[in-house]
Structure 1
Amino acid sequence: MIVEDDALVALGVRLTLSELGHDVVGIAASELEALAVAQAEKPQLALMDIRLRGASDGVQVAQRLWQEARVRCIFLSAYADDQTMARVAQTRPLGFVQKPYSAQQLKTALEQARNRLTEADGR
């Protein structure tokens, strides 16, 4: 699942994920859309931007996704200041990739997230 307010960026991420062999179950631009996709599709994880459409930011949405749907996030954002990173850390992120990033950086973050999820499941 991709949570990104910029439609062109979201489509680019979807294309990269497809090229890497991953399925995208939905794209959301706001908190309400993200929660609806998470409830309907049960994604393994979400790729989350910090800036989103609406009143809530990506950190707040990540907290709600975890609380309500047990979905964890990899953050994809240009915002990496100390205050933002401290807030991100409270969401139990699977990773953080600073924009702009390469397909290889995204691939590495996804592999690390898969390993962390597998370890958490005890597999």
Structure 2
Amino acid sequence: MIVEDNAVVAMHLKMLLEQNGYLVIGKCTRGEDAILMAESNSPDLIFMDIMLEGEVNGIDATHKIRKFSNAPIIFMSALTDENSLRQMNQFSNIKLTNKPFKELELLSMTKQILGM
């Protein structure tokens, strides 16, 4: 599942994953939609941007998703300030990659998380 408000980044990530044999169950641009999508689809992995459209950012969406799912999350963010890192590190079962992401690094994380 991809939660990313930049359409170009989301499409690039979706194509990269699908070209490498992964099924993307959905994409959304808002934290509110991410919560609903995660609850109804039970994804194996969530790619989560921090800054999103709408009222709910990626960290807040993750707090709500963690109430019903422990799906691994790869945070993708250009935010690397200490406060953002501290907020991300409070969750279990997460990884972080900076944007713009490196394709091989992201695929390696994905493979490691999903055991493929």
Q: TM-score, normalised by structure 1?
A: 0.85
Whether contact under 8 Å (1:65, 1:72) holds in the other structure is no
Name the residue aligned to 1:96. 96
Which SS does the other structure have where 2:76 is aligned? strand
Distance verdict in 2 for CA 1:3–1:33, change over 3 Å: same
State whether structure 2 residue 40 is matched by structure 1 residue 37.
Answer: no
Q: How many residues end up aligned between the 2 structures?
A: 115
- Return the structure number with greater relative CO, CA threshold 8 A, min gap 6: 2
How far the C-alpha of 1:71 sits from its partner, in A, is 2.9
Counterpart residue identity of residue 62, structure 1: T
Deviations 1:28-54 (A, max 9, x none): 111221122112211012100010011
Which residues of 2 match residues 73-112 of structure 1 at below 5 A? 73-112=73-112
State whether structure 2 residue 7 is matched by structure 1 residue 7.
Answer: yes
Give the % identical residues: 28
Gap runs ≥5 in structure 1? 116-123
Q: TM-score, normalised by structure 2?
A: 0.90
How far the C-alpha of 1:68 sits from its partner, in A, is 2.8
Counterpart residue identity of residue 2, structure 1: I
How far the C-alpha of 1:61 sits from its partner, in A, is 0.8
* Root-mean-square deviation (Å): 1.4
Name the residue aligned to 1:17. 17
Counterpart residue identity of residue 21, structure 2: G
Which SS does the other structure have where 1:101 is aligned? coil
Name the residue aligned to 1:67. 67
Which SS does the other structure have where 1:76 is aligned? strand
Gap runs ≥5 in structure 2? none
Whether contact under 8 Å (1:59, 1:91) holds in the other structure is no
Whether contact under 8 Å (1:10, 1:27) holds in the other structure is yes
Whether contact under 8 Å (1:75, 1:93) holds in the other structure is no
Whether contact under 8 Å (2:71, 2:93) holds in the other structure is no
Whether contact under 8 Å (1:62, 1:72) holds in the other structure is no
